[in-house]
């Protein structure tokens, strides 16, 4: 996505579900702009252009052009129709390039773990990560290479390859991903210990233990 992402906005006078419905049918998305001590503004933006921007990540920095002035914003609280996926409403929060903010980014695993080839099970514990960074430094996602993980290996928050200038407030002990040992199956036909009474319908012996909005306008 180009660094200079521009989106034209228009002031919105009417509020409520009916005016918002008319705007959506006309290819516009109702939105609000707020933050950094400024007034909360009701606006509309073109649905097609906004969809194109959001396809590159919700943390894409946007220059919003409104009434002849530029406002640097990020999209937040993006609401879509539950079945059609159409944009219903979005919040834009004003940001500054010299002030760090919090954002949520996806964690994407890459590679095939050695332990999986040996029969282990790859288990991802968290799928997104809260990060803190200046708006222009927020990554679209964090890639985690699991290729070298053997059975029993784990990755925790300090092992994540965060870009320069990006930190996370998450507890360092938080588990991100691990390769666990293969499950031990009960041998078919195995008999229980003599003198023990099995529970009906269960095996007689157990195996060893081993992640201001107007969404209410509708």
Could you state, in order of their start, the residue ranges of all structural domains in the chain?
6-95, 102-180
pLDDT at 26: 85
Domain 6-95 sits in CATH at 2.40.240.10
Distance CA 19, CA 49 (A): 21
With 0.75 as the threshold, say if the pTM is over it: no
Q: Kind and range of the H or E element at 196?
A: none
Q: Where are the beta strands (DSSP E) in 138-202?
A: 141-145, 154-156, 175-180
Burial 168-205 (b: 16+ CB within 10 A, else e): bebeeeeebbbbeeeeeeeeeeeeeeeeeeeeeeeeee
Pick the CATH number of 102-180 from 3.20.20.70, 2.170.120.20, 3.60.150.10, 1.10.10.10: 2.170.120.20
User: What six digits make up the tokens of 41?
Assistant: 């503004």
Nearest alpha-carbon partner for 100 in 125, 137, 53, 46: 137
| Each residue's pLDDT tens digit, 144-155 | 999 999 999 999
Most confident of 6-20, 54-68, 166-180: 166-180
Cβ(21)–Cβ(27) below 8 Å: no
Least confident of 61-65, 90-94, 169-173, 193-197: 193-197
Cβ(81)–Cβ(25) below 8 Å: no
Distance CA 137, CA 29 (A): 27
pLDDT at 198: 44
Residue-averaged pLDDT of the chain: 83
| Each residue's pLDDT tens digit, 77-120 | 888 888 888 888 999 999 999 999 999 999 999 999 999 999 99
How far is residue 191 from each of residues 75, 183, 201, 207, measured CA to CA in Å? Answer: 61, 20, 14, 13
pLDDT at 56: 83
Residues 6+ away with beta carbon under 8 Å from 155: 144, 146, 149, 175, 176, 177, 178
Is the per-residue pLDDT at 164 higher than 90? yes
DSSP helix/strand/coil, 25: helix
Is the per-residue pLDDT at 213 higher than 80? no
Confidence of residue 190 (pLDDT cuts 50, 70, 90): low
| Each residue's pLDDT tens digit, 20-59 | 777 888 888 999 999 988 889 999 999 999 999 988 888 8
Is the per-residue pLDDT at 204 higher than 50? no
């Amino acid at each position: 996505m180009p660094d200079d992402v521009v989106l034209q906005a228009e002031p919105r006078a009417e509020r409520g579900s009916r005016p918002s419905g008319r705007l959506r049918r006309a290819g516009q998305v109702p939105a609000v702009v707020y933050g950094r001590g400024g007034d909360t503004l009701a606006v509309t933006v073109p649905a097609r252009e906004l969809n194109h921007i959001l396809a590159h990540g919700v943390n894409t920095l946007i220059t919003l052009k409104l009434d002849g002035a530029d406002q640097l914003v990020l999209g937040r609280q993006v609401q879509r129709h539950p079945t059609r996926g159409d944009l219903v409403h979005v919040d834009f929060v004003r940001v500054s390039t010299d002030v760090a903010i919090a954002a949520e980014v996806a964690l994407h695993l890459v590679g095939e773990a050695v332990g999986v080839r040996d029969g282990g099970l790859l288990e991802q514990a968290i799928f997104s990560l809260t990060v803190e960074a200046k708006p222009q430094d927020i990554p679209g996602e964090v890639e985690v290479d699991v290729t070298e993980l053997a059975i029993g290996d784990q990755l925790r928050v300090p092992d994540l390859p965060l870009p320069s200038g990006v930190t996370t407030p998450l507890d360092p002990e938080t588990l991100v991903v691990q390769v666990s040992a293969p499950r031990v199956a009960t041998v078919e036909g195995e008999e229980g210990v003599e003198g023990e009474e099995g529970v009906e319908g269960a095996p007689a012996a157990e195996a060893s233990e081993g992640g201001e909005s107007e969404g209410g306008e509708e």
